[in-house]
Structure 1
């Protein structure tokens, strides 16, 4: 009977120990580790349990795993307004180096949802990743910015959450639940999907939003998964994403790449 691995070791890392992560050791190492790159903002919160389940499942299968928070997110240093795309990419490279050092091998794969997928793909060469499983990666940064803006505007008059509407509230520096900045807005406006030319799997939800809809040449490679996270739905902001089909698909493709 396969032993269940429940260990997750919290620690701070990086040059200034500014990044927070959980290392999930594997009992019988396969020779490949997996880096889990989270999405941003409320999507990070909605995926938290799913990432933890994925990490435990991979560790049980022999893959050491690192899941972490970018600077300005989660339990890492900095507030949400300090989150920027170039620093996010640097944090992925730092996390990859940390994972490689901890498990003592060289082969590494990554899984990322939404902006986490884009970050893994963007630094795949620099971080020496051997493969990436991307779930609902962002294909149109301008569409994502419009989506976040629309959702924040909707929250101003959402009487399901607030007793009194707040139509005059200035939310120009906020996205659903998080303070943001004009720097991040401008950085994401021009964001496009980058294919690093390595082994990759493109997982797509059953009803993708405008920001993650795959066009050619990726559309012909997409792998539909029976999960509907409703990324652009204000009513789903507090709903955790728990999907066995997504977990199974991610694990299967990571194992195939290993």
Structure 2
């Protein structure tokens, strides 16, 4: 039997009810609500169970939660070939407002893994997010696109999954089983850590410690927490394996419970120094 804090309310929202979300109510309120921004493509599937676990943990701590799918992703309307980065940002703003309306709480904090973290940072000003927590966010879109292209090329030649290698032209418009359009490819390729918002906590579980990678975010080193073991985001052999991390759930829940300071904005000269 589920408790009230574990109740999940699936629903559609948005101007045309085109977005799918799951709302986790809290039996008591801590004066803040959490928006969980999912990554895209295969990462979203692999993180699904972890996001659900995190939502339950936060709701149990008195923090209402909304998990949602951007247009063309998950159970929202649209096809994967229709996903656009700018539309994902506007969907995140819509989801933040929906969470405020459902919870009655104005102070919304966001969490996101990989591109979900990048999305939360990009949408933070327009969504009026009070704080952002990220897990291995994508800060170099060009390198990320190159990695996905290389994984896709290796996947099409993987005879453990296919009887024979697939022709390159049959897989050139996909990333690990998801159709990708040229516009989204270009938008992600140009992604850089030039956001106005700095996360209050960054959880780093990349295979190699990534202090240099995160410098572009102009973060205080004390706001970066290393998680072990490393997360196999780019390990093709583990492509179908769910990504789970109990330490991640614990770290995010504890941080969101404790956070009270407003999200920090980078001023122009600091932002320019790290581009």
> Which TM-score band (shorter chain)?
over 0.9
Structure-to-structure mapping, 1:67-82, within 5 angstroms: 67-82=67-82
Deviation at 1:60, TM superposition (A): 0.5
Q: TM-score, normalised by structure 2?
A: 0.88
Deviation at 1:195, TM superposition (A): 4.3
Distance in 2 separating the partners of 1:235 and 1:206: 16
Distance in 2 separating the partners of 1:101 and 1:160: 48
**Is the Cα–Cα contact under 8 Å of residues 203 and 225 in structure 1 kept in the other structure?**
yes
Check if 1:142 corresponds to 2:142: yes
Which of the numbers 227, 230, 240 marks the counterpart of 1:238? 240
Deviation at 1:83, TM superposition (A): 0.4
Deviation at 1:215, TM superposition (A): 2.8
Unpaired stretches in structure 1, ≥5 consecutive residues: none
Unpaired stretches in structure 2, ≥5 consecutive residues: 261-275
**Cα distance change on mapping 1:199 and 1:205 into 2, 3 Å:** closer
Distance in 2 separating the partners of 1:59 and 1:228: 27
Distance in 2 separating the partners of 1:242 and 1:188: 25
Distance in 1 separating the partners of 2:56 and 2:152: 34
**Cα distance change on mapping 1:86 and 1:195 into 2, 3 Å:** closer
SS in 1 for 2:6: coil
Partner of 1:256: 258
**Is the Cα–Cα contact under 8 Å of residues 199 and 257 in structure 1 kept in the other structure?**
no
Check if 1:186 corresponds to 2:186: yes
Please list the CA deviations of residues 118-175 of structure 1 after superposition, one character each: whole Å capped at 9, or x if unmatched.
Answer: 1111121211111010110111000010011001100111111112222444322111
Greater per-residue helix proportion? 2
Which moved further from structure 2: 98-107 or 195-204? 195-204
**Is the Cα–Cα contact under 8 Å of residues 35 and 110 in structure 1 kept in the other structure?**
yes
Partner of 2:158: 158
**Cα distance change on mapping 1:209 and 1:160 into 2, 3 Å:** farther
Equivalences, count: 255
> How much is the aligned-residue C-alpha RMSD, in angstroms?
1.9
SS in 1 for 2:97: helix
Check if 1:214 corresponds to 2:214: yes
Q: TM-score, normalised by structure 1?
A: 0.93
SS in 2 for 1:68: strand
